């Protein structure tokens, strides 16, 4: 039940209207930092290598 509770809280925070205030506090700072250090020049986006960011604790993974 604890895991289900955690997942539902994360979904509410990340995707609901009610989670906007909490997202704004945290995500705006993260997005500004990413833009500062991984800025993509929009004019040459097609020629640049895609930027990748690891998000520890997100529970996501990729396999080859």
d(CA 50, CA 23) in angstroms, rounded, equals: 25
Alpha-carbon Rg for the chain, nearest whole angstrom, is 16
List per-block mean pLDDT (blocks of 10 residues) for the chain, which spans 64 residues: 85 88 88 81 64 71 52
d(CA 1, CA 28) in angstroms, rounded, equals: 31
How far is the CA of 7 from the CAs of 16, 46, 53, 61, in angstroms? 13, 36, 22, 17
**18-32 confidence digits (pLDDT tens):** 989 988 888 888 888
* pLDDT reported for residue 47: 65
* pLDDT reported for residue 40: 64
**Is there a contact between 25 and 16 (Cβ–Cβ < 8 Å)?**
no
What is the model's pTM?
0.51
* pLDDT reported for residue 44: 59
**Is there a contact between 32 and 41 (Cβ–Cβ < 8 Å)?**
no
């Amino acid at each position: 039940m604890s895991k289900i509770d955690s997942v539902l809280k994360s979904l509410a925070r990340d995707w609901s209207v009610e989670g906007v205030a909490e997202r704004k506090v945290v995500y705006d700072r993260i997005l500004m930092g990413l833009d500062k250090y991984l800025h993509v020049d929009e004019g040459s986006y097609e020629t640049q290598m895609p930027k990748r960011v690891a998000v520890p604790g997100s529970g996501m993974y990729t396999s080859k």
